[in-house]
Amino acid sequence: MSISAKCLAVICAAFLLQSLADFAREEAARRKRLEQEGIEAKVITEAAEDSQGNLSTSEERPRQSSNSAKSVSKSESSVRSFRRAIQKLDRRIRQEENRLKLRRARLQSLHRESRKKGEAPGSGKGADAQSRLTEEIEELEMNLKQLRRERAEVYDEGRKAGFLPGELDGKGIIP
């Protein structure tokens, strides 16, 4: 590299550094001016990242300024929240019912095995397992009753809020 090329590189670097310093000063002045005016600067945070690490720079949806649109979206979100709660409880009820069926089937098979062996009910090797299963079945039945009660309460709250049964069950049209 010749001396003139080196000089040119040094001069370019000096101008570049000078322009970066000028830019930093201008940015600091702009931020100070915004702060004095009470305008909040937009900062991209980690919340804009997707779970896979992709960065999203777009916003969710454009906001609507009309009051009727806000009330519809509030109503929509309320219906959805009631529906989600009901669906979650329905899912848990189905899971508990399945567990209950499995425990009852297991208890019946233990009863059959003890009869085949000629043991009296409640005695023998399987007595502990049978009593444990009986306790689990009773507990599952209590949990199931509680879940059904909770579902009925959420459903009634939705009805009192003015939503139709089809809307709450997910079978109706959402406004």
Q: How far apart are CA 116 and CA 175, in angstroms?
A: 62
Greatest Cα-to-Cα distance within the chain, rounded to the nearest angstrom:
108
Query: How much is the average pLDDT of 70-98?
Result: 82
- Alpha carbon 68 to its chain's center: 28
Higher pLDDT, 106 or 34: 106
As for how many domains the chain has, the answer is 1
Is residue 46 assigned to a domain?
A: no
Q: How far apart are CA 116 and CA 103, in angstroms?
A: 20
The alpha-helical segments, DSSP class H, found in 54-164 are 67-117, 127-160
Query: How much is the average pLDDT of 66-92?
Result: 73
Q: What is the pLDDT of residues 30-76, one digit of tens each?
A: 877 877 777 766 655 555 555 555 555 555 555 554 454 444 455 56
Q: What is the pLDDT of residues 115-148, one digit of tens each?
A: 888 776 666 666 888 899 999 999 999 999 999 9
Is residue 34 assigned to a domain?
A: no
Is residue 39 assigned to a domain?
A: no
Domain assignment of residue 159, given as a range:
72-169
Is residue 109 assigned to a domain?
A: yes
Is residue 3 assigned to a domain?
A: no
Query: How much is the average pLDDT of 107-114?
Result: 88
Of 92, 138, 1, 102, give the one whose Cα is nearest residue 9: 1
